[in-house]
Amino acid sequence: MNGHCKGHAGGRFVSLRLVRRWMLLAVLAWLAVVPTLGLAMPSYARQTQLACVACHVGAFGPELTAFGRQFKLMGYTMKVGDAKELPLSAMLVESFTHTQKAQAEAPAKGFGTNDNTELQQASVFLAGRLSEHIGIFAQATYSENGGLLGWDNVDLRYARMFSRGSHTGIWGITVNNNPTVSDVFNTAPAWMYPYLSADLAPGAPAQPMLFGGLGGQVIGASAYVQLDGAWYLEAGGYRSLSPAFLRRVNADFNGRLSGVTPYARLAYTWNLPDGNVSVGGFMLNMRRGQVGTNAAGDAVALPGPTDRFRDFGVDSSYMYINGDHAITVDGLYVHESQRLDATWGGGGSDHLHDTLQSLNLKGSYWYRHTYGVTLASFVYNGSRDVTLYGNDGAPNTRGESIELDYSPFGQPDSWQQPWANARLGLQYTWFNRFSGRVHNIDGAGRNASDNNTLYFYVWLAI
């Protein structure tokens, strides 16, 4: 094919992408300004007749206020009025990604090596009260990166209040598809900062399994209790879903779990006049086998030994909200011990035993829940293993980020409240080390700083 034909085909591809993107933007905007349709697509704000700022710091998800945490613990069931409507909502994220130096190869099919625009997420939600004690958060997402519509986080809850003597509390049961998605604190990996990040830029080469390693690939149930608004305990287990089912919902399959994978969470909260302080911990203990492919090229579980991952995490958070000002600080440290019987036995690692450690810190300030700035730092370290990680043999990656946000809606007097919301974010991430090195991280002269990423997004919700 000659150069003219290549250019013509590429232009047509870009044009079709832009047409599809602007059609989706137009539909969301139209739904937001037509109240009758907005009433047919209620969100949690519509259900409770409260502005988004009641449940979310910065008037937009996912960071929860103290009231937002209680709403989730009560199974998303709080309701005002007698209207019976389907609890549906939608979300769209359009983004632009620029790295300091173009990547050696395009990060995904249909994109360039730098300066990419993307319909990063287009999601629909079944989210709200189903009965007096049952509620749901279920998400299906389409992403231009991959071009597939698949299931996302799912959290189905049954919850009730109780009173025993001088003690009061909430107990419940959650069925979900991602360990930590049930958590109400924004230190949990499923909901921790960054809430959005560039998926077309390099990221940490290795993270503990608690960081979404099972997300969307499992089904699990856990019981939880909150006592006197202070103690929180959750415990349960997860099992693998079949590769055939995961193909139908366009989810990854990275190996079958051996038996039930236990998960536990403990936290304590001190409630203050203008906020709260929480400390806690996580535990995940899993065994997982290897993955192969069948004649059709589909991923299948292989018989044989399994790899074992034991994750233990400690976390802490602080929240202050008073009038026009809101401050939140979160921290999470996770240590993972690995026994790689399957990987090492198959020649995929240098060692039978490896470890990973992660440290994530962030602090945010919001003025009138409209203008926000966030500073964050991340460190991922691990055992040196050349066969497993290549190059220097270490996954060690560290850096910082700064983000500026603007949420024009979400207040009680906002335009089209509670049916329309939006956030604009500008995020810059820089790397001090990547894959164990500062310079020549890929053996071809690329430096860690070449992965520094400028990321801009527009996040719409109805």
pLDDT, tens digit, for every residue of 344-396? 999 999 999 999 999 999 999 999 999 999 999 999 999 999 999 987 888 99
pLDDT-based confidence at 175, cuts 50/70/90? very high
Two tokens, residue 198:
């560039």
Q: Which residue has the higher pLDDT, 217 or 7?
A: 217
In angstroms, the CA 64 to CA 69 distance is 6
- Total of domains in the chain: 1
- Does 41 have pLDDT greater than 50? no
Are the C-beta atoms of 295 and 305 separated by less than 8 Å? no
pLDDT-based confidence at 441, cuts 50/70/90? very high
Distances (CA, A) of 94 to 7, 106, 249: 25, 19, 23
Rounded percentage of the chain residues whose pLDDT exceeds 70: 90
Q: Give pLDDT, residue 73.
A: 98
Q: Give pLDDT, residue 390.
A: 84
Virtual CA dihedral for 248, 250, 251, 255, nearest 10 degrees?
60
pLDDT-based confidence at 24, cuts 50/70/90? low
Q: Give pLDDT, residue 3.
A: 37
Enter the DSSP assignment of 205. S
Average pLDDT over residues 20-41: 44
- Record the pTM: 0.90
Two tokens, residue 348:
């995929």
The verdict on residue 212 lying in a domain is yes
Mean pLDDT of the chain: 89
Average pLDDT over residues 112-140: 95
The verdict on residue 14 lying in a domain is no
Tens digit of each residue's pLDDT (9 = 90 or more) over 44-63: 877 888 888 899 999 998 99
The verdict on residue 384 lying in a domain is yes
Residues 6+ apart with CB under 8 A from 173: 157, 158, 159, 221, 222, 223, 224
Tens digit of each residue's pLDDT (9 = 90 or more) over 237-248: 999 999 999 999
Q: Domain holding 211: CATH number?
A: 2.40.160.10
Enter the DSSP assignment of 5. H
Q: Give pLDDT, residue 301.
A: 86
Average pLDDT over residues 446-451: 97
The verdict on residue 26 lying in a domain is no
The verdict on residue 215 lying in a domain is yes
The verdict on residue 12 lying in a domain is no
pLDDT-based confidence at 197, cuts 50/70/90? very high
The verdict on residue 289 lying in a domain is yes
- Selection from 251, 178, 175 nearest residue 218 by Cα: 178
- Domain with 286, as residue range(s), is 34-461
Q: Give pLDDT, residue 44.
A: 80
The verdict on residue 106 lying in a domain is yes
